[in-house]
Structure 1
């Protein structure tokens, strides 16, 4: 049985936002935000060990079963923050606990920095701070971003079966076929040509801008709520994200074995850390 059995749908700012939850009747939830090109099913393993907590695993626009942005739009990082703010205001949620993985953790950090009334606690899984670049690279970043839009493919690959789609996803990550199948079941759609991933191809466009270290530091230092950082020992991100540790005002840092998707592969261990943090 799925650990997030209930499907939810929200209409926010002319977009349909999909989610999975472990509660049929949901008051104020613990909000779970997935990583880039993942979907709500990435929180299924973790939810198995957090049954006492009302979880809502939301899908960002362009991901999973959520709607895609209009054809004249692009996917800017801070627009995802706006999507969450709009949803919180619509549902009258305040002082949430937010669990974010990878990109979702970056969105959660930006949310807590700019809208502190919405966030009481942060759980950041294998992600601290933001993806940054030197200001001197701004022109090249803009050029690369625009070229990626103009030269991007218009159709995603087709797969003969769910297993084939899952295998392709597994090859791009650091988890087993079991975790890849969770994402594939939620994240694919059947067409007359075969299975395709639901994710909007525009998500793969290079960003036209990056925050500088100074901008990232200013955002992180504005986060005044308690935060738990769960860093994976075998992740390629570990060394990069630790540079942001000094900028969080109230950060508890812990390390777990596994790769970037440690909340899927080491779900019980990660859940135990989350429980201790939330009840401290």
Structure 2
């Protein structure tokens, strides 16, 4: 049976309460967590699943690329219906619909790619019992093509904590999703337009329209990861396009381990214009595009 002939999985989830940071709206990070859960459900349906692949086959399932578009808001008590369709071995199209008042509202459209990494500490090493034709070829290490050109900008360094890692070894995809959220927050505070300030003074709340996080190579547990964030453009005075890159230094080599992009804006949360996109004024645009050069 070909991948395209397989039926999609449709599962139901609710966003975690942790993601309701501004009123009852859910932040982009938790949209991406729901996508991860939905893909894991697909793997459980058609393959041995992440646990079986690790314990029996010695393979670690790793999300290596997830891009999402977010056309509508998601709220804390929404029931989310996730549909996952395999498009090629290890590649998926994902949609999330929120069920509101008996009707479905599209809240996410995304694409996901996974890798199977051979794990040296796994007790297993046998063949994949079911669904091998649906999965990518295993790889001995996580090493994918990096995007062109170094990107600088505002940055900081952090030791890769075990609770961001998979399989006692490397930083997982959701760890970099968390870092992307932190990178935006740190950058805005560094520029003097922190999320808290704009919420208090203007009633502006952060809104993410699009995000993508890609793993390029392994960053191992407790390695120091160097992360940069820069705003590349401001669009129509309502959105800014940002890019994050993460690196490690190993054996005298600078290794690009992850890259991400985010399209970010603000919505007005109070007054007669509540719910409308905020127009970025000169102060905010100058802060976003300012230089870190001395």
Higher-helix-fraction structure: 1
* Structure with more strand by fraction: 2
- Which TM-score applies when normalising by structure 1? 0.27
The alignment's TM-score, normalised by the length of structure 2, stands at: 0.27
Higher relative contact order (CA 8 A, sep 6+): 1
